[in-house]
């Protein structure tokens, strides 16, 4: 990549990330509502576990799941569906005639999305710790941060892969995202240890980066957590591998789907 191209990529990334970070802060109700929504979901599962009479360590698992859920939702609705929404609002054609690469828009969207979601996730985590008196081990905090960042890299890579599909498809892809959102969230072990899924379902769930990422985080932050899927080191390696694979697929898919969408005149096709 030439210096000029790299500069353009970085400028585009910065511009898109800026809008995502600061635009989302302008309306206080958005932040409050998303934090409250995450908190209520977490509360539901904490009390459910209390009803079931499981150990207190399950509250810690649920709080960590609640911390990761906003990222999962941001990947699905803020990255994967974004090109679809840009198309519906009429911005996509402007983006495509500009010299800025489409991939830079999406990477910027991911970086900005991850940063603004971080604030909400930290708020959910804070409330979870404060209200449910959950304690985490901080001995491995730097390693946990590394696992978290690799998980985000992998998750947002998957989001960019799906954004290509959304670029070509319309309401059918949106409906599909709506359909798979809850089952995917459940299968990734957000609110229970993923090992209980059994080998078959776990094999599918492992393709969702949140599954192994959460399992590794639980091993590092919840000392009494014993029902792990794999050792966290292996999970970190798999997540890094998944992230790279998703990045490669995303780069290829974006080019080929953009070409196909141009050829089939679907880039400006709205409300379909």
Partner 1 sequence: MKGFLASMYVGLQIESNWTKKWVWLLYLAAYPIGSFLAVIILYGVFGQKTGLLPYALYGTIFYYSLSMVFFDMAFSVHDDREHYQTLKYIFLSSTSYRTYLCGRAATRYLIALAGIVINLCWLVPVLHLPFHPNWGYLLAGAFLGYLVAAGLGLAMASVFLLTIKLDVDVVDALFGGMFVLSGALFPPTAFPAVFAKIAEFVPMSPFIELMRRAASGQVLTSFLSGMSTSQLLGRVALSAAILFAVGSVLVSFGSRQAQRKGYIDVTTAF
Please provide the DSSP assignment of 76-117 as one string: IIIIITHHHHHHHHT-HHHHHHSSS-HHHHHHHHHHHHHHHH
Give the 3-state secondary structure percentages of the chain, helix then strand then coil, rounded to 5. 80, 0, 20
For the chain, what is the radius of gyration of the CA atoms? 19
Residue 86, both tokens:
């840009």
Shortest approach of partner 1 to residue 217 CB, angstroms?
20
Instruction: Quote the CA–CA distance of 145 and 151 in Å, as a whole number.
Output: 10
Shortest approach of partner 1 to residue 46 CB, angstroms?
10
Closest CA to 128 of 44, 207, 52, 202: 44
Residue 60, both tokens:
């810690």
Tell me whether residue 89 or residue 149 sits nearer to partner 1 (CB atom): 89
Tell me whether residue 4 or residue 29 sits nearer to partner 1 (CB atom): 29
Shortest approach of partner 1 to residue 131 CB, angstroms?
12
Shortest approach of partner 1 to residue 95 CB, angstroms?
13
Tell me whether residue 170 or residue 223 sits nearer to partner 1 (CB atom): 170
Tell me whether residue 47 or residue 252 sits nearer to partner 1 (CB atom): 47
What are the C-alpha distances in Å from 251 to residues 27, 148, 163? 33, 23, 11
Instruction: Quote the CA–CA distance of 247 and 241 in Å, as a whole number.
Output: 10
Shortest approach of partner 1 to residue 191 CB, angstroms?
6
Shortest approach of partner 1 to residue 51 CB, angstroms?
4
Tell me whether residue 50 or residue 260 sits nearer to partner 1 (CB atom): 50
Q: Which positions touch partner 1 (CB under 8 A)? A: 23, 27, 29-30, 32-34, 36-37, 40-41, 43-44, 47-54, 88-89, 91, 170-172, 175, 178-183, 186-187, 191-192, 196-197, 271-272
Tell me whether residue 185 or residue 219 sits nearer to partner 1 (CB atom): 185
């Amino acid at each position: 990549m030439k210096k000029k191209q790299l500069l353009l990529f970085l400028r585009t990334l910065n511009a898109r990330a800026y809008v995502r970070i600061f635009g989302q802060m302008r309306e206080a109700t958005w932040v409050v509502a998303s934090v409250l929504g995450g908190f209520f979901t977490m509360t539901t599962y904490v009390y459910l576990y209390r009803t079931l009479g499981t150990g207190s360590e399950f509250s810690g698992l649920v709080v960590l799941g609640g911390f990761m859920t906003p990222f999962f939702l941001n990947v699905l609705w803020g990255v994967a569906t974004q090109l679809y929404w840009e198309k519906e609002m009429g911005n996509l054609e402007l983006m495509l005639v500009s010299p800025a690469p489409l991939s830079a828009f999406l990477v910027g969207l991911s970086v900005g999305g991850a940063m603004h979601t971080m604030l909400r996730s930290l708020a959910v985590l804070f409330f979870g710790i404060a209200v449910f008196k959950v304690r985490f081990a901080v001995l491995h905090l730097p390693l946990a941060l590394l696992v978290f960042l690799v998980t985000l890299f992998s998750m947002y890579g998957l989001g960019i892969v799906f954004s290509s599909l959304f670029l070509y498809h319309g309401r059918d892809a949106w409906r599909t995202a709506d359909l798979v959102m809850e089952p995917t969230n459940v299968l990734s072990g957000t609110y229970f240890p993923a090992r209980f899924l059994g080998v078959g379902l776990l094999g599918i769930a492992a393709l969702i980066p949140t599954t192994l990422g959460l399992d590794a985080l639980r091993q590092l932050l919840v000392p009494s957590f014993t029902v792990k899927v794999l050792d966290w080191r292996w999970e970190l390696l798999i997540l890094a591998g998944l992230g790279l694979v998703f990045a490669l697929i995303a780069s290829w898919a974006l080019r080929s789907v953009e070409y196909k969408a141009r050829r089939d005149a679907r880039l400006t096709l709205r409300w379909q």
